[in-house]
Amino acid sequence: MRHILSPLLILISLGVAAQQSTFHAGILPEIAISYSLNEKLKHTTKIESQHETYFDKWEYSYSQTDFQSFLDYRFNPFWKGALGYQFRLVEKGNNAHRTIQQIAAVQKYSGFRLGHRFRIDQTFYQSGAAVKYRIRYRLSTEIPLEGESLDPGEYFIILSDEALYSRQDGKNDFENRLAIALGYFVGSKNKLEAGLDYRLEKLLDRKISHNLWLKLGWFYTL
């Protein structure tokens, strides 16, 4: 794990130093609970909260919480489509509503699984700011650490990279999210994950924003 994290931190430092940029870090806990309505439909509720930390002053502040709800349709064992809604509760009061549409696919290989997620979303701000439109693609892989398939009571690594393009009020932006986490499959319904999520925001701006989050996730299937 240390071998993977060290180059990542070096890259971040070089990136921050090389240009006019900002750096944010913090903790990003998330909980997702899913339950099947029937053979084809599933509902997923997810809560994700951002807590920013300032290492230079050793301070901490709550940033925002996202409440998400998805209705998931299974086309076949590999492809699923989902419609979702998110309410973002922001500390400074600029709350937002988001509508989400996504298609996700999983590819099963001997020794790992690949996940593809194509998503578009539209964000509506309570402040009256222009609607933000985003299109995004995430590639992720789940690698069991104790055999060729993941079984209850086993650890796994999950790696993902997501590219996001957004447009708001005539202005384009591009973002990349790279994440690595160590996971534990508890029973046959719980997955716990802990890892790092490195986000490069405002890539089309002169002032790139670097964000490093300690991500803690709990995925529960009822």
Partner 1 sequence: MKQSATLIALLISVNGLAQVKTEVEKRIDSKDVPQKAIRWLNDAYEKVDKVKWYYEETTGKASYEAKLKWNNRNHSVEFNTKGVIEDIEIYMDWDELPDYVRRNVIHYMDSAFTKYNIRKIQQQWTGEPDDLEDAIDEHETEDITTRYEIEFYGKNENHNELWEGLFDHMGILIEQRIIKLLPTDNLNY
Least Å from the CB of residue 188 to partner 1:
8
- Taking residue 7's Cβ as centre, other Cβ atoms within 10 Å add up to 9
Q: Return the number of the residue (104 or 214) whose C-beta is nearest partner 1.
A: 104
**3-class DSSP state for residue 128?**
coil
Among 26, 86, 121, 183, binds partner 1 (CB under 8 A): 183
Buried b (16+ CB within 10 A) or exposed e, 124-157: ebeeeeeebebebebebbbebeeeeebeeeeebb
77 contact partners, CB below 8 Å, separation of at least 6? none
Residue 60 in contact with partner 1, rule: CB under 8 A? no
Q: Longest C-alpha distance within the chain, in Å?
A: 53
| Residue 186 makes contact with partner 1 by CB under 8 A | no
172-207 exposure pattern, b = at least 16 Cβ within 10 A, e = fewer: ebebebebbbebebeeeeebbbebbbbbbbeeeeee
Q: Does the footprint of partner 1 cover residue 104 (CB under 8 A)?
A: yes
Is 38 one of the binding residues for partner 1 (CB under 8 A)?
no
For partner 1, give the closer residue by CB, 123 or 140: 140
Q: CB of 206: closest distance to partner 1 in angstroms?
A: 33
Stretch that binds partner 1, among 2-10, 51-59, 66-74, 85-93 (CB under 8 A): 66-74
Stretch of 17-25, 89-97, 108-116, 203-211 lying at the interface with partner 1 (CB under 8 A): 108-116
Cβ-in-10-Å burial (0-12, 13-18, 19+) of 28 comes to buried
User: Radius of gyration over alpha carbons of the chain, in Å?
Assistant: 18
189 binds partner 1 (CB under 8 A): yes
Which segment (12-20, 78-86, 89-97, 126-134) binds partner 1 by CB under 8 A? 78-86
Interacting residue ranges for partner 1, rule: CB under 8 A: 32, 34, 44, 46, 68, 70, 72, 74, 76-78, 80, 82, 102, 104, 106, 108, 113, 115, 117, 140, 142, 146-152, 154, 158, 183, 185, 189, 191, 193, 217, 219, 221
